[in-house]
Each structure stands twice: as structure tokens, then as C-alpha cells.
Amino acid sequence: MALPAAPEWLTKRDGSLKPGLRGDIAIVMIGNRPEYRLEVRPASGKFACVVSATVNGKLIEGHEALPTADAAWTEGLARLQAKLGW
């Protein structure tokens, strides 16, 4: 799975996306700190993006099954943006 490009709303706040240990994981960096983890998982023949805080593992609710991994990355990033209010 290809890591998505960091969206503009994230880069404007000194944020970036770094690859995780596997190709289906991205770490959201804010400054030099890993703040959130996005993981795209198979879900009934589709894909879902699970978003969690790195400090305590708390999930950001609302993931849904989507037809492609790219759509799941996009949806996960949109949920994170909404959670952060950016």
C-alpha cells in the first residue's frame, strides 16, 4: 500500500506522515512527535482506516468500510482533521 501524501491542513501545522513498520500503517507527526497512528485494514472485502492516538491508543471513532485502500486513507485523515478541528 502506498503511503498518502500529507494533506495541506497537516503540513501547515508542521505536520507530516511517516511510514510505520508495515506498509499499511502511517504515523502522523506533529513537529517531531508521533501523535497519531493510521492503519488501513481489510474489512469484508473492502478497507477501513483505524485512527488512534499514539500516547494512549485511544481510537477516533467512525471508521467505515470503503472500496479502496486510498479511499480508506483519505477517510481516516478526514476524521483526524475533524477531531483536531483543523
**∠ Cα 40 43 47 (to 5°):** 40
Cell 517531531, residue? 32
- Residue 1 pLDDT > 80, yes or no? no
3-state secondary structure of 64: coil
Distance CA 50, CA 62 (A): 9
pLDDT digits (tens, 9 = 90+) for 30-40: 999 999 999 99
Phi, psi (5° rounding) for residue 3? -70, 135
- Closest by CA to 65, choosing from 86, 50, 85, is 50
**Single-letter amino acid, residue 43:** A
pLDDT digits (tens, 9 = 90+) for 43-71: 989 999 999 999 999 999 888 899 999 99
